[in-house]
Structure 1
Amino acid sequence: MKTDNKPWFWIPLLNFASGLPYAVIISVSVIMYKKLGISNKDIGLYTSLLYLPWVIKPLWSPFIELVGTKRKWFLSMQLLISIAFLLVGFTIPANGFFMMTLAIFWVAAFASASNDIASDGFYLLVLPEDKQSFFIGIRSTFYRLAMLAGNGLIVLLAGYLEHKYSDNTKAWSYTMIAVGLLMTFITVYNFFSTPRTEINAGEKPVAANKQSFASIFASFFRKKQIIIVLSFILLFRLGESQLIKMLTPFLVDPIKYELVETGLDEGQAKALELYNSKVKNGEKLSDSELQFLYAKLPVLVEMRDQKKQLKEVENKDKEEYKNANKARIDFVNLLITNKGNQKTIKKGGMGLETEDIGLIYGTFGLIALTLGGILGGIAISKQGLTKWMLPMILTMHLPIIGFILLAHFHPASIYYIYAVVIVEQFGYGFGFAAFMMYLIYVAEGESKTAHYALATGFMAMGMMLPGMVSGYIQEYLGYGNFFIWVFLATIPGIILSRFLIFPKDFGKEYQEV
């Protein structure tokens, strides 16, 4: 297969194979663990640690640079990812599933990071620079399409199975098995579609690179403006890194909780009596009384389309019981703090079902992202990165204001949520093309693969560290103030972008005359 006229056959699914594992490991795992009863703090901390392989991938990127072909690397890593997702699916029903699935996700994350290194290097080696600028938007779009396939279609499947089986564990187990099978199909397609040679048609073969690991690393840190460059890469996604981790919990968390005072059984009636006699009067509760309220106080959950009473969970597994009752425990603690005044307790999330999340991101969000990514790549290829850098960054970050408004006003119509997601997804697709094009500039020169991996490794660090504390920040600030903080966190990256120096027309596609 010729490499100069067939990129449309292999670029889309090769980048989809990079984005899908990332989406499942980093994003879909968030909603999966949320629906399986894990707290926001644990979700933020442990799923952010899954970024670590992308952070430290530069440590083994020179090995991929010097040993074997990029094609062999990404095909073998994609196969390993497929097996890992199948194992996650079979492990979810087991006791202690949380730590076991995290361990498997870690293996998949290392394989996915290696797949990214090889795929990026393959792209840089096979395509000449003028075509790289055009296809950067296509790459970014299909990578993001894979993210949306995870956050959209896969989540939609999980939501459908949740309703079908009335069992979140079974639903997510089957969903992850389906993801493993899908990844297997993509691996097979990439085996047959990707070019066998790794030299583009416009280049002559060159001697093998004999640089050592140390010299490859050192040459990266000798690049111009390296301090400003690394600061920009680390801080550019400071806001987004926290938004990604807490956005799904915000959308699926109930709008609010309230007490039920009618249709009670004997235990609930006694708990309500204790609440009225002591909590409303600000009296101190004994440990036994507090535990009784945690277990029996009747609490109603307000979702977007319904109100339902929290079910009492059987005390089979201590940790599972604690997680399942966390909502009631947190609400009781707020009631005690506010002496029973429910009106002072702020509203929480948007109260969407799992299927709602999948539908929003898998339809209009998908279309908006596709248009944004394609237009971003075309804009850079026509007029160069300098002209579009700031407008694209602003287009990417300003839509966070929409989530601030949602968290403060909780509009009744779901169409407001659709509008915010559509604007955010278009802005992301359009704006992220500029950031990815800049990373290609940073990687210019010898050892493109390793240098690009170094740049994206620092980018992953900028995602991991803030994400680890995002759950703690959210629980401290509440959703409304949290999104304000996320918006403010985008400012350092915007400021640093104005100090970056690169060729004025970098990324512009020149036409021969």
Structure 2
Amino acid sequence: MKADTKAWYWIPLLNFASGFPYAIILSVSGTMYKSLGVSNEDIGVYTSLMYLPWVIKPLWSPFIDLHGTKRKWFLTMQLAISISFLIVGLIIPASNFFILSLAIFWVAAFASASNDVASDGFYLLALSKDQQSLFLGIRSTFYKIAILTGNGLVVILAGYLEIVYTDKHKAWSYTMIFVAVFMIAITIYNFFFSPKIENNKKVETTSKPNFSKVFSTFFQKKQIVLIISFILLFRLGESQLLKMLNPFLVEPIKYELDESTKISEQKAALKTYYNIINHNRKANKSEMQFIYTNLPIFAIMQNEKTSLDLKNISKSDQTIYKDLVSKRTKFIDELIVHNGNSALIPKKGMGISNMDYGIIYGIFGVIALVLGGLIGGFVISRDGLGKWMLPMILAMHLPIIGFILISYIHPEVMFNLNLPYLEYSLNPLNLNLTTSIFYYNPYVVLAVIIEQFGYGFGFAAFMMYLIYVAEGESKTSHYSIATGFMALGMMLPGMVSGYIQEYLGYGNFFIWVFVATIPGLILSRFLIFPSDFGKKSTPENLRQSK
């Protein structure tokens, strides 16, 4: 069966419009909060709670299924998402930005979850089963490209603006305003290019099951307990990995004392500190407070040392100030426990800047993901889901081993790459082409490439299985219920991921994440579905089925 050439105009951007806000709300928000000084624990809890709209979207998905057209729903929701992002951008400079931005992100999350319901339903209605299989790889790939656009290009922009303005609040404010404008442009594109396959009159007059029947028929499916268990547990490891991978990559490699300081208060703090260490005595409260405040400490990144000086931070910015205090006190406590031997303190993250993180995911990650997604959709369309289910699950989860190795070995081999960019000013005619040095760790880049390729290749199998689960009457609502359980499986583990990481440390945390992938793998071996599900129909197998 030949591909519908018109579908190529709307499927990529429609799925991009689902993945992009999802990335901004659930992933980029965490990067932003980390940059603005929010702790790993708070990032894990509050950004994971934003999964809730995707968890409970089955409660209102039948309403979307029964009222209005899917096209009107997703266009309206995409506009609401755009406005929400714009508001977030405007309130970031506020002193209480954390609470305010979380509230607006919640509004955007409900709109984004509704957009997903309508977009998924539109896809299932507009294409035949053969076309759904054929475009599955494209659909999944552009969804993931959207996520990497957020994690990559948007973070690159924020990192660049952090350098330009030396003000992280202003940088992220402008970044979110840009995201809002970009989302509006995508909405306009979808308005003009998505086909009108439904009409209100048809929707109102067609006989459809009532609200309660939509839910009851889903839970009457064969193997439903096993199906729900598999959906909940399949992403148990990934849900935690996604929350803590950015903190691991951007957190400083280690901290160290600045022995060469010339500032009198810092020299006095060093003298007090060494007096405590050399005499192996317990410091009193006033001494510890003096050391916590004045001891000169550097954060060691890939390419620079950053001073953790409390006096450089305005006390009105409570989020960043508290984060800096926490880092200083934790390092000082560890130093005293180890009697001043910093070599005994485990290394932290990989010390990558936000801009370098964005480049790694926005360039290397996107290329690997696109290739993996295209190949994944192709092999399912050629051979069916049964042959590729196990290899695809393994392809998704085995790359975690790469992050285990990196977190323990901590390779610090760096290569530098000069990347050109336009240097701008308020005068639009004064544009200068210059270069910026990109510091990258080849081991990190390789781990990201393997992980993203495996994700693009393997996730196609999971999404194809969800399409199988949704087969039958009310497929839009049933698909929404299935993805709601998937979101629940992402939300709950993600909420505790920050606490688990802080308790275990990064190395042991990644081992735990890898172990957490095993239950989903085991359950997948007991699932019953047609082995040729998703296989493209050909004249030969059509004759064999008669």
Residue of structure 1 equivalent to 2:343: 343
Counterpart Cα distance in 2 of 1:258 and 1:392: 43
429, 433, 438: which one pairs with 2:465?
A: 438
Residue of structure 2 equivalent to 1:253: 251
Residue of structure 2 equivalent to 1:216: 214
Counterpart Cα distance in 1 of 2:91 and 2:457: 38
Residue of structure 1 equivalent to 2:88: 88
The 1:66–1:280 alpha-carbon spacing in structure 2 relative to 1, beyond 3 Å, is farther
Counterpart Cα distance in 1 of 2:304 and 2:271: 26
1:284 deviation in Å?
A: 2.6
Residue of structure 2 equivalent to 1:510: 537
2:276 matches 1:278: yes
2:301 matches 1:303: yes
Residue of structure 2 equivalent to 1:238: 236
Deviations 1:310-345 (A, max 9, x none): 232343355542123222122112123323221110
Residue of structure 2 equivalent to 1:33: 33
Counterpart Cα distance in 2 of 1:255 and 1:93: 29
Amino acid of the residue matched to residue 430 of structure 1? F
Residues 103-118 of structure 1 aligned to structure 2 (within 5 Å): 103-118=103-118
Counterpart Cα distance in 1 of 2:318 and 2:357: 30
1:205 deviation in Å?
A: 10
Deviations 1:440-474 (A, max 9, x none): 00000000111000000000000000000000000
Runs of 4 or more, structure 1, over 6 Å off, are 204-207
Residues 65-214 of structure 1 aligned to structure 2 (within 5 Å): 65-198=65-198, 208-214=206-212
1:246 deviation in Å?
A: 0.4
Counterpart Cα distance in 2 of 1:433 and 1:314: 48
TM-score (norm. length: structure 1):
0.96
SS in 2 for 1:325: helix
Structure 2 residues not aligned, in runs of 5+ = 414-440, 541-546
Residue of structure 1 equivalent to 2:479: 452
Structure 1 residues not aligned, in runs of 5+ = none
How many residues were matched structurally?
Answer: 507
Counterpart Cα distance in 1 of 2:336 and 2:48: 32
1:134 deviation in Å?
A: 1.1
Residue of structure 1 equivalent to 2:543: none
Counterpart Cα distance in 1 of 2:298 and 2:489: 39
Deviations 1:259-311 (A, max 9, x none): 11112311111111121112454433333322222211111111111223223
293-302 or 123-132: bigger deviation: 293-302
85-94 or 409-418: bigger deviation: 409-418
- Identical counterparts, % of pairs: 64
Residue of structure 1 equivalent to 2:265: 267
The 1:126–1:318 alpha-carbon spacing in structure 2 relative to 1, beyond 3 Å, is closer
SS in 1 for 2:539: coil
1:126, 1:198 within 8 Å by CA — same for their partners in 2? no
216-225 or 324-333: bigger deviation: 324-333
Counterpart Cα distance in 1 of 2:394 and 2:499: 27
Counterpart Cα distance in 2 of 1:443 and 1:282: 66
SS in 1 for 2:298: strand
The 1:444–1:206 alpha-carbon spacing in structure 2 relative to 1, beyond 3 Å, is farther
Counterpart Cα distance in 2 of 1:179 and 1:324: 28
Counterpart Cα distance in 1 of 2:73 and 2:178: 24
2:308, 2:324 within 8 Å by CA — same for their partners in 1? no
The 1:342–1:212 alpha-carbon spacing in structure 2 relative to 1, beyond 3 Å, is same
SS in 2 for 1:262: coil
Residues 304-323 of structure 1 aligned to structure 2 (within 5 Å): 304-312=302-310, 313-323=313-323
Counterpart Cα distance in 1 of 2:130 and 2:141: 18
TM-score (norm. length: structure 2):
0.91
Amino acid of the residue matched to residue 489 of structure 2? G
2:237, 2:515 within 8 Å by CA — same for their partners in 1? yes
1:166 deviation in Å?
A: 0.8
Counterpart Cα distance in 2 of 1:361 and 1:209: 47
SS in 2 for 1:444: coil
1:382, 1:509 within 8 Å by CA — same for their partners in 2? yes
CA RMSD in angstroms, aligned pairs only:
1.6
Counterpart Cα distance in 2 of 1:207 and 1:380: 37
